Every structure is written in structure tokens, then in C-alpha cells.
């Protein structure tokens, strides 16, 4: 278990939890870490389980109940709470059900409970939206405005070219922010030599992305920034092997990238909440809009299931609608 997870665990798990419950959670989190789950995934699971244990503490009829004594009716009460009190969407409820089932399966495997109290089919039904929620992405004009904002906001030449490099690398590859920040100097050298980069994704799964990450953009200004950054990076006094580092030679954090994106969106007056993951949405949307094969996009994004990639086909649907409107038979 990483130090980051240990710190987050201490901060998230409330003192009001019994030592028994805290111990079960700790063992589960440690098992997740040992299985190769990313820190972000583990924190996400932990937050979902925190919601469950918080519910046990606020529900009068369940306050003193031991996990081993939970029954399906208790779990259904929890599902009902998520819908009626927390207004969770169907996708959020589905995720929390999955995490809770994973946790209970683990407890059963560890002989902490004799049976799994998860109901085979919940009596609580969630109304499904008729249309899937469309992902937020940036249009080309908004991308240009965001880049201009980053140029204006950065206080030093080094941070300006580094931040623009990071943001545009995500926009042009669809990499997750964790994947970008884990790129090493050796990865850079290999991508220049081979014309592709090996990306270490979720669960340490590797995939190949056919791009030289020092020359991924056709925009002359972006290309010049990338060239300058690599020159500047060589002069940074650091033992850190990450490609992207601060002026002090420290690895860049995900929180920092989230911060500069928020500031950039506000400065350029984008009427959208922009996060690193929205840049991934942007890449997928535009590459599909330009005619890419959805199976190829699935490989580029590292999706295990094509159904995950299909949420981006809204772009093609919009283009088809526009084409139909302009070119429909007139009589």
C-alpha cells in the first residue's frame, strides 16, 4: 500500500467507525493495492464504501448491527437511501452496488462473514434515462482559447511551455492524466526512436500509442513549445526521472493540472467545467468525428469494453443529423 493511500485512508475513515469495521476496510484496501489497482481506483472504492458505513452509522435500526449480521433487506434499505436521500443517478448506484458486492465477496473469501447479504436482484428499481448522458468536450475554438489562457496565466516561460505541452498531449492522445504524468525521460527517448510510446494504464496494463510524444502536434507554436520544454527540462537540477517536473525538480501532481485547467477555463470564459478527463472526452469525440474506426479508438483509449467507447459516438450522430438536414430530399 502506497503512502498516499495510507494518508487518504486515515483522513477518510472516521473515528466513529468501530475498530472492527476499520480493520476490515484496511485489509480490503491493502488487498486492492496488492492486486495492482491504481491509487485513484482505490480511493474511489474507499469513498463508495465510506458512504455505506456512514449510512450504517446514521440509520438507527442498523447502528449496533455487525456486518456478519447484515441481511438483504438491510442492503435494500441502503439502496433506497442512495436513491431517495442522496439522489444518486442510475450509473452512480450501479457503481456503488458493484463496489459493495466486491467488498462483501472479499469478506466471504476471508471468512469474515458466513454468507453474502447482497440481494440477488434489488426490489428497488431506478428509472433509467431514455438518453445516455453525453460527455462534455471542447470544440476547436474552445481549445484555442484554452491554450491562449494558459499562455497568459503562467508566470514563467518554463511553466508556460510545460503546461501547454501536458494539456495538448492529453488533447492529442486521450491519455489519462495519471498516464501522462507517469511518462519518464526514457519513455521520451524510446518514443523518438520507435515512433510510439508504451502507456502504462489502469492496473498496470500496457498499450502502445503510435506517436512520438516530442512531435505530436501540427501546430507550429505547440511544436516550438515542446522543443523548448525538452531543452529546459535538461537544465533542471533533479534526480526525478519523470518527464514533467516543477522548477524545483519535483514530479507534477494531478491536483496541480486540475487547478490550471480550472483557472484556464475561467480565464477563457468557457461555459464548461473542464477536468483532465474532459480532455480525454475531447480527443475521443474529435477523432471519431473525423472518421476513425471505433475499434481503433477503443485501443487508443485503453478501454476493455467497446461499450465504454460508444458514449463518444454522439459526435457522429450529430454530424449525421446535420448532413440529413442539409441534404434531405426536397419535393
Q: Which three cell numbers stand for residue 282?
A: 475531447
DSSP character at residue 198? E
Torsional class of 13: left (φ above 0), alpha (ψ -120 to 50), beta (otherwise): beta
Residue 141: name the closest of 331, 282, 302 by CA. Answer: 282
Calpha distance 31→179 (Å, rounded): 23
Residues with active-site annotation: 176, 202, 277, 280, 303, 312
CA 259 → CA 43, 245, 276, distances in Å?
19, 16, 10
Q: What is the largest CA-CA distance in the chain?
A: 76
- Strand pairing partners for 245? 251
- Dihedral angle sign, alpha carbons of residues 279, 281, 282, 286: positive
Q: Which three cell numbers stand for residue 110?
A: 476471508
Amino acid at each position: 500500500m502506497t503512502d498516499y493511500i495510507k494518508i487518504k485512508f486515515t483522513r477518510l475513515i472516521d473515528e466513529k467507525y468501530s475498530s472492527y469495521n476499520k480493520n476490515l476496510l484496511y485489509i480490503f484496501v491493502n488487498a486492492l493495492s496488492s492486486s495492482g489497482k491504481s491509487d485513484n481506483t482505490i480511493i474511489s472504492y474507499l469513498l463508495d464504501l465510506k458512504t455505506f458505513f456512514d449510512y450504517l452509522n446514521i440509520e438507527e435500526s442498523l447502528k449496533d448491527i455487525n456486518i456478519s449480521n447484515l441481511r438483504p433487506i438491510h442492503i435494500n434499505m441502503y439502496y433506497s437511501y442512495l436513491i431517495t436521500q442522496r439522489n444518486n443517478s442510475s450509473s452512480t448506484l450501479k457503481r456503488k452496488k458493484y463496489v459493495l458486492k466486491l467488498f462483501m465477496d472479499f469478506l466471504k473469501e476471508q471468512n469474515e462473514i458466513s454468507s453474502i447479504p447482497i440481494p440477488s436482484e434489488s426490489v428497488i428499481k431506478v428509472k433509467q434515462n431514455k438518453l445516455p448522458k453525453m460527455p462534455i468536450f471542447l470544440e476547436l475554438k474552445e481549445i484555442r482559447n484554452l491554450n491562449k489562457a494558459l499562455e497568459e496565466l503562467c508566470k514563467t516561460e518554463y511553466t508556460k511551455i510545460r503546461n501547454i505541452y501536458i494539456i495538448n498531449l492529453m488533447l492529442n492522445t486521450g491519455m489519462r492524466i495519471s498516464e501522462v504524468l507517469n511518462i519518464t525521460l526514457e519513455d521520451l527517448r524510446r518514443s523518438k526512436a520507435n515512433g510510439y510510446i508504451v502507456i502504462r494504464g489502469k492496473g498496470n496494463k500496457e498499450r502502445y500509442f503510435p506517436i512520438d510524444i516530442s512531435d505530436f502536434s501540427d501546430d507550429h507554436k505547440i511544436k516550438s513549445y515542446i522543443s523548448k520544454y525538452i531543452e529546459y527540462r535538461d537544465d533542471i537540477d533533479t534526480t526525478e526521472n519523470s518527464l514533467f517536473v516543477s522548477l524545483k525538480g519535483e514530479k507534477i501532481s494531478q491536483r496541480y493540472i486540475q487547478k490550471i485547467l480550472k483557472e484556464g477555463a475561467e480565464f477563457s470564459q468557457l461555459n464548461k467545467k473542464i477536468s483532465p478527463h474532459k480532455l480525454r472526452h475531447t480527443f475521443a469525440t474529435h477523432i471519431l468525428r473525423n472518421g476513425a474506426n471505433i475499434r481503433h479508438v477503443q485501443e487508443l483509449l485503453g478501454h476493455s469494453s467497446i461499450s465504454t467507447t460508444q458514449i463518444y459516438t454522439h459526435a457522429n450522430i450529430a454530424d449525421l443529423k446535420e448532413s440529413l438536414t442539409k441534404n434531405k430530399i426536397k419535393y
